[in-house]
C-alpha cells in the first residue's frame, strides 16, 4: 500500500480509540509547513474543539535538524522559517495562545516526543495539517497508532492543496498523469464544491486562564539555526531585506499583486527581468499563506466573482497555482518519485554524465551561456530564480550537459528560499523529460533562442552578469559568436563550455537509446 493509503487505514482503525479521548487540559495544534493563523484548516479545527471543550488551545513546532538535512532545506529557507516562527509566536501571544518551539535532534523520535509533550500538558486532542511526502505520511501513521494506544485523538487533515489529493479521477478511474485534463477536472471540482475556497476562521482569544496554566510555554525562545544551516552576517542582511517574512507580509504581497499586476500576468510572467509574477512561492512553501486564499482572492478580483472567467491574467495565474496542487497529487499517487526515481522506469537507463567541471560551471554561473549564468547567479545571490530561467537551466543541465537531473534538483533545494519537494521534483521531471507529463525529450531548449525570446533587451543578463553589461542587445546573448568575444574575455566572462548543436545530438541519442 502507498503511504497515504496506510495513513487512511490507520485513521479508520483508530477511530474507536480516539472517541474515548477525554477532554484533558488543552487541545493542541502542531505547526509544520502551515506557519499562519489565518485560513489554517487544522488550527481552526483545534480552536473550535478547544472552545467546545472550554479548554485552552496550545500550539507547538518541532525543529528537526535531520529533516532540514534530509529535505535539503537551504540555509536561507531555514532562516525564513525561524524568522516566521517569531512572527507567529507574537501573533498567537496576542490571542493568549502559546507557541512552544523545541529542537528534536533525532527525527525518528518525533512521534514519541509529541506523545511526551501532550502528556506533560495534559492534552488528549491533537490536530495537524497533512504533509504528503513519504516520510511525513509514515511519521503521522505511526503517531496516530501511538496516540490511539493511549486514547488520545489525532486529527490530521488536508489543507495545503485547494483540492485534496485523490479526489480527481480520469474516466478510467485513475489519477491523471497529464496536467491539462487534470486541470479541467480540478476547476470543475472546485466549481462543484465552492466550500473548498471558504476561509477558515482565525482562532479566537484563549480563555484568560491559559496564560497562568501554560506560562512556561509563553516564555519559549525561538532557537537559532542548527549547525550547518547558519547564515553569515552579510547573508542575513541580504536575505532579510529580500525576503520579509510572516503571514502579514504574504497577505500584503498577494493583495498588491492582485491589485496592480495580475491583469498583466499572462503577458509578463515569462519575462524574468520584469516584476510580473507574484513572488509568493516562498510563502506558499512555508505556509504563511494558503493556496486556497490565493485562488479565492484572485477570483474575487473578477467583478463577476467567476472562477474561470474574467481577466485572462487571473485565469492564467490560477492555472499556475494549480500546478502546485498537481505535483502534490502526483506525489501521493506515485510516491516512488519521492525516492529520486523517474516517473517512467525506462528513463532510469539514460547514461548521464558526471563531469564535475561542467557541473561546477553550471552551479557558479560560468558556463559561457549568458542566460544560464544570469539565472544561476540570481539563484545563488537571492535564493530565488524566475520560472522561465528555472526551465532553461534545468534543460541546459540535463540535456546540453547531460548531467544527472538529480544533481540539479538537489542543488536547487540546497539554495532555493522556496524549495518545495513536490514542485521542485515536478519542475525537474518536466524539464529533464523524466517526470509526469514532461516536455518530450526531443524538444530541447536552445538557450540562445530562449534568451532572445524572453530577455530581448538583455536586461536580465545585464542585471546578473555585469561582465556583459556594456554589450549591445544582440551581442549580449552570445558574445563570443557575435563579435564581442574580446570585450567579454577582457571582463573575465568565460567562453561557452559546450556547443549547443553537438550537445543536442548527444542528448537525443542518449535519450533514444534508453527509451527505444
**Active-site residue list:** 320, 323, 352, 387, 405, 428
Q: Which residue is nearest to ligand FAD (CB)?
A: 427
Pick 265 or 511: Cβ nearer ligand FAD: 265
Using rule CB under 6 A, residue 387 touches ligand FAD: yes
Give the relative orientation of helices 3-13 and 134-149 as an angle to the nearest 10 degrees.
10
Residue of 353, 350, 369 lying closest to 361 (CA atoms): 369
Residue 321 binds ligand FAD (CB under 6 A) = yes
Identify which of 420, 428, 362, 350 has the alpha carbon closest to the alpha carbon of residue 391: 428
**Least Å from the CB of residue 180 to ligand FAD:** 14
320 near ligand FAD, rule: CB under 6 A: yes
What span, in angstroms and rounded, lies between the C-alpha atoms of 357 and 497? 10
Q: Is 31 helix (H, G, I), strand (E, B) or coil?
A: strand
Residue 110 grid coordinates:
518525533
With binding defined as CB under 6 A, does residue 266 bind ligand FAD? no
Nearer to ligand FAD, 428 or 460 (CB): 428
User: CB of residue 354 vs ligand FAD: minimum separation in angstroms?
Assistant: 19
- Choice between 121 and 428, CB closer to ligand FAD: 428
Instruction: Calculate the alpha carbon distances from 117 to 113, 124, 168, 226 in Å.
Output: 6, 11, 37, 21
Q: Provide the 3-class DSSP secondary structure of residue 100.
A: strand
Q: Select the residue interacting with ligand FAD from 29, 77, 89, 324 (CB under 6 A).
A: 324
Least Å distance, CB 326 to ligand FAD, is 7
Rule CB under 6 A: say whether 395 interacts with ligand FAD. Answer: no
Q: Where are the alpha helices (DSSP H) in 14-40?
A: 15-19
| Residue 232 CB partners (closer than 8 Å, separation 6+) | none
Our finding on whether 426 is near ligand FAD (CB under 6 A) is yes
Mask 278-317, x = binds ligand FAD (CB under 6 A)? Answer: xxxx--xx--------------------------------
Strand partners, 31: 61
Based on the shown chain and the rule CB under 6 A, indicate whether residue 427 belongs to the binding site for ligand FAD. Answer: yes
Under the criterion CB under 6 A, does residue 183 sit at the interface with ligand FAD? no
- Smallest distance, ligand FAD to C-beta of residue 177, A: 16
Distance separating alpha carbons of residues 145 and 152, to the nearest angstrom: 10
| Closest by Cα among 361, 386, 349 to 515 | 349
Give whichever of 28 and 422 is closer to ligand FAD, judged by the CB atom: 422
The single residue among 87, 190, 416, 510 that binds ligand FAD, judged by CB under 6 A, is 416
Beta bridge partners of 99: 59
Number of residues interacting with ligand FAD: please give it, by CB under 6 A: 29
Q: Tell whether residue 428 is a contact of ligand FAD (CB under 6 A).
A: yes
- Say if CB 376 and CB 364 are below 8 A apart: yes
Beta carbons within 8 Å of 462's beta carbon, 6+ residues apart? 468, 469, 476
Binding region for ligand FAD (CB under 6 A): 269, 277-281, 284-285, 320-321, 323-324, 327, 386-387, 390-391, 394, 412, 416, 418-420, 423-424, 426-428, 431
Amino acid at each position: 500500500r502507498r503511504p497515504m493509503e496506510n495513513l487512511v487505514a490507520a485513521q479508520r482503525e483508530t477511530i474507536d480509540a480516539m472517541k474515548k479521548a477525554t477532554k484533558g487540559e488543552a487541545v493542541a495544534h502542531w505547526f509544520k509547513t502551515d506557519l499562519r493563523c489565518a485560513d489554517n484548516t487544522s488550527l481552526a479545527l483545534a480552536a473550535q474543539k478547544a472552545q467546545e471543550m472550554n479548554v485552552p488551545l496550545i500550539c507547538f513546532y518541532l525543529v528537526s535538524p535531520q529533516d532540514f538535512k534530509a529535505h535539503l532545506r537551504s540555509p536561507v529557507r531555514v532562516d525564513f522559517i525561524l524568522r516566521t516562527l517569531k512572527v507567529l509566536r507574537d501573533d498567537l501571544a496576542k490571542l493568549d495562545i502559546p507557541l512552544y518551539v523545541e529542537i528534536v535532534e533525532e527525527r525518528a523520535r518525533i512521534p514519541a516526543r509529541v506523545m511526551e509533550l501532550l502528556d506533560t500538558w495534559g492534552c488528549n486532542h491533537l490536530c495537524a495539517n497533512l504533509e504528503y511526502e513519504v516520510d511525513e505520511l509514515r511519521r503521522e501513521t505511526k503517531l496516530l497508532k501511538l496516540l490511539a494506544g493511549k486514547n488520545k485523538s489525532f486529527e490530521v487533515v488536508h489543507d495545503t492543496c485547494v483540492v485534496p489529493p485523490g479526489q480527481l479521477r480520469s474516466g478510467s478511474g485513475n489519477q491523471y498523469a497529464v496536467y491539462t485534463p487534470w486541470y479541467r477536472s480540478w476547476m470543475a471540482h472546485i466549481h462543484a464544491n465552492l466550500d473548498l475556497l471558504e476561509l477558515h476562521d482565525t482562532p479566537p482569544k484563549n480563555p484568560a486562564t491559559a496564560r497562568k496554566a501554560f506560562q512556561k510555554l509563553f516564555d519559549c525562545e525561538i532557537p537559532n539555526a542548527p549547525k550547518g544551516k547558519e547564515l553569515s552576517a552579510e547573508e542575513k542582511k541580504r536575505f532579510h531585506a529580500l525576503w520579509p517574512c510572516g503571514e502579514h507580509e504574504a497577505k500584503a504581497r498577494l493583495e498588491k499583486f492582485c491589485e496592480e499586476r495580475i491583469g498583466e500576468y499572462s503577458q509578463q510572467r515569462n519575462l524574468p527581468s520584469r516584476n510580473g509574477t507574484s513572488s509568493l512561492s516562498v510563502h506558499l512553501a512555508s505556509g504563511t499563506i494558503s493556496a486556497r486564499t490565493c485562488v479565492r482572492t484572485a477570483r474575487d478580483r473578477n467583478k463577476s466573482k467567476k472562477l474561470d472567467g474574467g481577466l485572462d491574467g487571473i485565469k492564467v495565474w490560477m492555472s499556475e497555482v494549480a500546478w502546485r496542487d498537481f505535483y502534490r497529487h502526483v506525489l501521493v499517487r506515485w510516491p516512488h518519485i519521492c525516492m529520486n526515481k523517474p516517473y517512467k522506469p525506462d528513463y532510469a537507463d539514460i547514461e548521464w554524465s558526471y563531469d564535475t567541471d561542467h557541473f561546477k560551471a553550471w552551479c557558479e554561473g560560468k558556463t559561457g551561456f549568458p542566460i544560464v549564468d544570469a539565472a544561476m547567479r540570481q539563484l545563488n545571490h537571492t535564493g530565488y530564480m524566475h520560472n522561465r530561467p528555472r526551465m532553461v537551466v534545468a534543460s541546459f543541465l540535463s540535456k546540453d550537459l547531460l548531467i544527472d537531473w538529480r544533481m540539479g534538483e538537489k542543488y536547487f533545494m540546497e539554495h532555493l528560499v522556496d524549495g518545495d519537494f513536490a514542485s521542485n521534483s515536478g519542475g525537474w521531471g518536466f524539464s529533464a523529460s523524466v517526470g509526469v507529463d514532461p516536455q518530450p525529450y526531443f524538444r530541447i531548449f536552445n538557450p540562445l533562442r530562449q534568451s532572445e525570446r524572453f530577455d530581448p533587451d538583455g536586461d536580465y543578463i545585464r542585471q546578473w552578469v555585469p561582465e556583459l553589461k556594456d554589450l549591445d542587445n544582440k551581442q549580449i546573448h552570445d558574445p563570443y559568436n557575435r563579435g564581442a568575444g574580446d570585450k567579454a574575455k577582457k571582463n573575465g566572462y568565460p567562453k561557452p563550455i559546450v556547443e549547443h548543436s553537438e550537445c543536442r545530438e548527444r542528448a537525443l541519442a542518449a535519450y533514444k537509446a534508453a527509451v527505444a
